[in-house]
Structure 1
Amino acid sequence: MFIDTHLHVIDKTALDYPWLGGAAALNRDFLYESYEREARRVGIEAALHMEVDVAPALIERETDYVAGLAAREGSLIVGAISSARPEEEGFAALVERQQENPLVKGFRRVLHVMPDELSEAPMFRENIKRLSGTRFTFDLCVLPHQIPRAIELADLAPDVRFILDHCGVPDIKGEAVEPWRTHMREIAKRPNVVGKISGVIAYADAQTWTLDTLRPYVEHTAECFGFDRLVWGSDWPVCTLGGGLSPWAAATQALFGGCTARERAKVYRENARRIWGLD
């Protein structure tokens, strides 16, 4: 059984997602009901909703929307990672408000589509340090060449737990190994960083990828972080770009098939329960 630490719900009737205009394959509704049917079939027992980079004015409305999904009887959603803008003064007030909201487990600012310098801004860094002493995690979604900047953030706030999304977003389709491989080894030296094995089929050729295509990237991530600092995620619906949730879940089972039952349990669900305090 999996705890999915990276579910996106897209509901264009409820929220505005400016970036979808440039992402034709995802520019439609991907509703919770569709996810839930397939998720239960592949053995997902719970999920964290990951923010979907809504229009900034709607960040807290997205959290309210997810709360409504989580309140449904039998819902898989047990928590949310909220969008945030650490580069803005309002971040501190957002963190304060969400301290009272048990649904929110952490924050993310999408960085891989932003200028590299964003995370170097004094306000951004000061606000990241504000997470020290809180229960909140911070997800890092960065490209391989940006991992050194993620390392700087991890070093800046050593008592904040950072989650590195999507195995560091390797260019699997382009068969690129460096600098990703070296940077992954370096960021994993930081004990406050957790690696997320999530939806990497989206970065492979949808028509030709096999287990052997994914194996070097998944295995290197696991080798760097170890089984106590790995979590799993679907990255649905982005994973549909590489085939979908069911193929990704099946690939995960095959890739970790040689591990012990205890190691698989840690990656699939136990680490997530511990990190985010899930029941």
Structure 2
Amino acid sequence: MIVDAHHHLWAAGAGYTWLDEPGLEPINRTFTPAMVTAELAAAGVARSVLVEGGRCDTAEAAVLLGHAAATPEIAGVVAWADPCDPHLAATLAGYRALPGGERLVGIRSQVQGESADYLDRAEVREGLATIGAAGLAFDLVVRVDQLPSAARVAAALPDVRFVLDHLGKPRITAGAEGLAEWRAAIAPLADCPNATAKVSGLATEADWTAWTVDDLRPYVAGAVELFGPRRLMLGSDWPVCLLAGDYGTVRAALLDALGELPATERAAILGDTATRTYRLSA
């Protein structure tokens, strides 16, 4: 089963205030389930994982799970929750009671907006343990300088499934310096068997108007080397990717960057890892 392991949906004026920043005008509009299913069909992708979009409130979960309930192609939802929520277990149970709640497969918070050592905090780790105990994965949307703390928390909580979004958002525009920084920072996380990573979001970490597949290739190759195909999954990061290229262009570039791989390894990255890690239903 081919899976797009990472995309978003949102409505204009629905609380996604980060979209008001200059330069984000192309994606500051409504994106619907029908729009993404058209992209999936054109690319030959069977299922997808819908990820919270930075609204950072619990009400968004009902919207996203409702989309999943009405859209067979959306096999899983990664909803937002605050790991420090004192009622986190009840929040997660509430999500599961919603229409589409059976498709809740993970939780994400906007760690990238926190300090470099945020994931080392005791109250955060307690929340992440609660998420794991609920049978859910935790998506790590982090900066490169947060990767060391991500590795520490993954090692400290071996029973929690951690999914690194966008390969840790490397500084691709920094050239060789950015690549060296990223490799050193991501290697300890890759050593944790409970951590997987998404080959996603790379074009928007490069020069939006001038990037080529060669800019992405060393990061994709490094991820294959460090994580191995069975702990990698491919995601479009649509519609954020539209800042750098349309769905088909970005997906084709990532597939090109993967290079020649045995069929079983390619199948892992294109769907098997996401299906297993998120426990998606076929």
TM-score normalised by the chain length of structure 2 = 0.90
Shift of 1:243: 0.9
The answer (yes or no) to whether the contact 1:7–1:48 under 8 Å persists in 2 is yes
The match for 2:93 among 76, 92, 96 is: 96
Shift of 1:117: 4.1
The match for 1:64 among 62, 66, 69 is: 62
Shift of 1:252: 2.1
Distance 1:90 1:22, change over 3 A: farther
Shift of 1:120: 3.2
Shift of 1:116: 2.7
Counterpart-to-counterpart distance in 1, 2:117 and 2:254: 34
Distance 1:173 1:2, change over 3 A: farther
Shift of 1:217: 0.7
Match of 2:228 in 1: 226
Match of 2:137 in 1: 137
Partner amino acid for 1:102? E
Counterpart-to-counterpart distance in 2, 1:7 and 1:77: 10
- Secondary structure of the 1:194 match is strand
The gaps in structure 1 that reach 5 residues or longer are none
Higher fraction of helix: 2
The answer (yes or no) to whether the contact 1:87–1:121 under 8 Å persists in 2 is no
- Secondary structure of the 2:159 match is coil
Shift of 1:149: 1.1
- Trace 1:253-272 onto structure 2 (pairs within 5 A): 253-272=255-274
Match of 1:240 in 2: 242
- Secondary structure of the 1:12 match is coil
The answer (yes or no) to whether the contact 1:141–1:166 under 8 Å persists in 2 is yes
Distance 1:139 1:86, change over 3 A: same
Match of 1:125 in 2: 125
The answer (yes or no) to whether the contact 1:228–1:271 under 8 Å persists in 2 is yes
Counterpart-to-counterpart distance in 2, 1:91 and 1:163: 20
CA deviation map 1:112-164 (0-9, x unaligned): 12233433333212111223433200000111111011112112211101001
Counterpart-to-counterpart distance in 2, 1:5 and 1:87: 26
Shift of 1:99: 5.1
- Trace 1:175-254 onto structure 2 (pairs within 5 A): 175=175, 176-254=178-256
Counterpart-to-counterpart distance in 1, 2:245 and 2:114: 27
The answer (yes or no) to whether the contact 1:88–1:124 under 8 Å persists in 2 is no
CA deviation map 1:192-220 (0-9, x unaligned): 00011112111111222222111001110
The answer (yes or no) to whether the contact 2:118–2:149 under 8 Å persists in 1 is no
Counterpart-to-counterpart distance in 2, 1:155 and 1:77: 31
- Secondary structure of the 1:52 match is coil
Counterpart-to-counterpart distance in 2, 1:164 and 1:83: 15
- Secondary structure of the 2:199 match is strand
After superposing on structure 2, the runs of 4+ consecutive aligned residues of structure 1 that deviate more than 4 Å are: none
Match of 1:21 in 2: 20
Partner amino acid for 1:86? P
Answering whether residue 30 of structure 2 is matched by residue 49 of structure 1, we say no
The answer (yes or no) to whether the contact 1:142–1:168 under 8 Å persists in 2 is yes
Counterpart-to-counterpart distance in 2, 1:245 and 1:232: 13
Distance 1:133 1:110, change over 3 A: same
Shift of 1:166: 0.4
Shift of 1:111: 1.2
CA deviation map 1:28-61 (0-9, x unaligned): 22222222212211121111100012142xx2x3
Match of 1:165 in 2: 165
Between 1 and 2, higher relative CO (CA 8 Å, sep ≥ 6) is seen in: 2
Answering whether residue 56 of structure 2 is matched by residue 75 of structure 1, we say no
Stretch of structure 1 that moved more, 247-256 or 262-271: 247-256
Distance 1:185 1:55, change over 3 A: closer
Counterpart-to-counterpart distance in 1, 2:116 and 2:103: 30
Shift of 1:69: 2.0
Partner amino acid for 2:215? T
